[in-house]
Structure 1
């Protein structure tokens, strides 16, 4: 009975897909390797090394350069996501039970990939803890908020801004665990997760319809991914690039994060 109720809970459905997508091969982005590759065309070796050791903002890399690197990554990930979505649409109606859940997880996996890339360019810390591919609660919360921004939820925009603002003041190399898991922005994380669970169900239905006819379904599915993924990635890019973390006003130091006061949670 409990399992059945959880499966009907949008927040729980989203959480299951988020965790599953994060565990897919290739979803986790190595921050150091990515920054080195993304900035190689635009920055000196010294700037790249400092961006890796601290942040791109602390390295003094201009926002316009970061925007160019971000656009490169968005273009790459959009093309890849659309191609794989189209390929998953080829089997047709008889394969729907197998392909639709996998395609949805794959789609969210690509959303997590671009979210990580944009976060690292715009001076967020490494989002995964150590060598584990498992999501801790703080990372799960941040990804939920990032995806909320991509889906256009204003509460997610505000919460991401609060977390980024607190991090820019504390200049620490880790996420604010307490704020994301107990108070401050945690209620917003739960609200956004519920909203995304509802949107995910709608998206699953849309993909089911698009894949009902072989070949044609492949074209429709790939087109659907292109039409949704690209603007959502650009929405996250626009928001992250506008935050205080992108401004080189502080140098990042090795420090424990001092939790922000709960008053920051007030809208």
Structure 2
């Protein structure tokens, strides 16, 4: 895809930005490292080990605890994204050709970071494999996550459908066919096109906010804070409501279907730990 085509087609433009943001340093979250840090304040070591080897739901970690960990991460990512956006607004109008694209890239990068963190807390599998490439299923599910953050109801329904498929199959991978060929795929394309249009609006707003040196820093940082946190909270609320968060859908064979501990849990070692998503390690905050 060339840049001209990406610029003319909102869907292609968003897809190009998504893939580019996923390749930025520090954007990909290492699932195991993140879960250990995020849950360390609230869970025992046994609970954390099982959450890493299976899922937080399978480890029996309550939604209240997961919500606390999610809120910690949302606060951290919001503050970081806002600070970087404010810094991009310092130079003023003459630097707009450089600062606006850079700010949009870091903004979408932080949207990717919080999407991964919330997904891992609410029992989704690794979203990235090693290497720079982003496979089609990962790109599709991240597009749907972004759609939820932007408030599109079709994305909410599609994410719920994907989560339902994974819960039914007790799957530890994304359902490739549903996301790339099946009934979910047309929704992915529509959501990508919608976000592509919204990106153009955000680019204009950020350009205006950065036009005046120094004052632009406060306006730009404030705009990011006002938009990023509500979007992250929207995704958090939706992921927390899905079937994947319910232990009854993630228990090993032999345990009660209703989630009661009628039989002894299978040790995490018998299930095998998830493969790590990326060599990138998480920074200082859960």
What is the TM-score of this pair, normalised by structure 2? 0.86
What is residue 210 of structure 1 aligned with on the other side?
209
Distance 1:2 1:39 in 2: 43
Shift of 1:6: 3.8
Q: Which moved more, 1:4-13 or 1:228-237?
A: 4-13
What is the TM-score of this pair, normalised by structure 1? 0.92
What is residue 11 of structure 2 aligned with on the other side?
11
| 5+ residue gaps, structure 2 | 253-270, 273-286
Distance 2:18 2:214 in 1: 29
Distance 2:4 2:40 in 1: 50
Distance 2:29 2:211 in 1: 33
What is residue 147 of structure 1 aligned with on the other side?
146
Question: Does residue 1:184 correspond to 2:212, yes or no?
Answer: no
Shift of 1:214: 0.5
What is residue 35 of structure 2 aligned with on the other side?
35
CA contact (8 A) 1:28 1:133 kept: no
Distance 1:116 1:103 in 2: 20
What is residue 240 of structure 1 aligned with on the other side?
239
| 5+ residue gaps, structure 1 | 255-267
What is residue 165 of structure 2 aligned with on the other side?
166
Runs of 4+ residues deviating >6 angstroms: none
Aligned length, in residue pairs: 253
Change (3 A) 1:195 1:170: same
Q: Which moved more, 1:166-175 or 1:3-12?
A: 3-12
Distance 2:132 2:151 in 1: 27
Cα deviation 1:64-105 (Å, max 9, x = unaligned): 000000000000000000000000111111111111111101
Other structure's SS at 2:28 match: coil
Question: Does residue 1:55 correspond to 2:86, yes or no?
Answer: no
What is residue 97 of structure 2 aligned with on the other side?
97
Shift of 1:251: 2.6
Other structure's SS at 2:29 match: coil
CA contact (8 A) 1:54 1:251 kept: no
Other structure's SS at 2:247 match: coil
Q: Cα RMSD over matched residues?
A: 1.4
Change (3 A) 1:134 1:2: closer
What is residue 264 of structure 1 aligned with on the other side?
none
Shift of 1:2: 7.4
